[in-house]
């Protein structure tokens, strides 16, 4: 047991397969199609319990300045697509740099629609698991995965429940990012909750914005350049057929 905790950061700490989620119909999402996580590191151990690893494709949502390694750690095994969804915001072309989570997520929908469409098309066109990640796997990854899940008809409450799961992982995520040191004795995690939280209200605002479109998230994608054929292919790929 004494060796377990130091090894806890030697692999992805915010990884999950988005299979098995309920839709508004009678279907569920297929395992082994869409994964989400924090940023992989060189030398990470192989994760346990995944339907297939390594993924067939990786979508890296981080900005260029965040990519410290010359080559993505999974480039040896996966097709890596770098789609920096927030780069315009960081460069000053967006709305500014001081945003609430809700405003940040709305910016992603409004200001990064072309890049989110790229993410969608990678998910549609890949035969095998697609891993979507940013740095923490919370904000950019959360919005992109919510769009993909809702476009397939996953229930809103299931999307929100998946998003808030990140809360339990954030302390280890920040430690892997070297953003947050191990908390000293007497300091409670609640003291930094505001910095590391994944509040349901932020994701609910994203879903409300998507629902404003005729056809919901699928309608949002259609309005931003996706074809109906792509929507159908994604739903067929991601959803199980009821027995």
SS3 164: helix
Sign of CA dihedral 237, 139, 170, 61: positive
CB 122 within 8 A of CB 81: yes
Nearest partner of 87 among 109, 66, 59, judged by Cα: 66
Strand runs (DSSP E) across the chain, as ranges?
A: 16-17, 34-37, 57-60, 79-82, 130-133
Cα 11 from Cα 190, distance rounded (Å): 25
Tens digit of pLDDT at every position of the chain (243 positions)? 333 344 678 999 999 999 999 999 889 999 999 999 999 999 999 999 999 999 999 999 999 888 766 799 999 999 999 999 998 776 554 444 456 888 889 989 999 999 999 999 999 999 999 999 999 999 999 999 999 999 999 999 999 999 999 999 988 898 898 765 444 444 455 544 545 788 999 999 999 999 999 999 999 999 999 999 999 999 999 999 766
Burial class (CB within 10 angstroms; exposed 0-12, middle 13-18, buried 19+) of 190: exposed
Q: Name the CATH architecture for the domain at 4-236.
A: Alpha-Beta Complex (3.90)
Q: Is 120 left (phi over 0), alpha (psi -120 to 50) or beta?
A: alpha
| CA gap 237, 56 in Å, rounded | 14
CB 206 within 8 A of CB 50: no
The whole-model pTM stands at 0.89
């Amino acid at each position: 047991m004494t060796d377990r905790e130091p090894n806890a950061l030697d692999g992805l700490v915010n990884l999950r397969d988005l299979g098995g989620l309920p839709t508004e119909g009678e279907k569920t999402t297929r395992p082994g199609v869409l994964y989400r996580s924090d940023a992989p590191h060189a030398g990470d151990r192989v994760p346990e319990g995944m339907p297939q690893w390594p993924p067939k494709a990786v979508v890296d949502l981080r900005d260029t300045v965040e990519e410290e390694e010359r080559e993505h750690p999974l480039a040896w095994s996966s097709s890596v697509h770098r789609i920096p969804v927030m780069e315009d915001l960081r460069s000053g072309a967006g709305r500014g740099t001081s945003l609430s989570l809700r405003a940040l997520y709305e910016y992603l929908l409004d200001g990064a629609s072309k890049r989110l469409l790229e993410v969608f098309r990678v998910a549609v066109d890949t035969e095998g698991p697609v891993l979507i990640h940013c740095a923490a796997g919370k904000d950019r990854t959360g919005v992109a995965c919510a769009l993909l899940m809702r476009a397939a008809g996953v229930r809103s409450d299931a999307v929100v429940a998946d998003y808030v799961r990140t809360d339990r992982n954030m302390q280890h995520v920040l430690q892997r990012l070297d953003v947050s040191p191990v908390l000293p004795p007497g300091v409670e995690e609640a003291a930094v909750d505001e910095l590391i939280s994944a509040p349901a209200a932020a994701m609910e605002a994203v879903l409300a914005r998507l629902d404003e479109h005729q056809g919901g998230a699928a309608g949002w994608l259609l309005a931003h350049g996706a074809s109906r054929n792509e929507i159908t292919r994604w739903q067929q790929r991601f959803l199980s057929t009821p027995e």
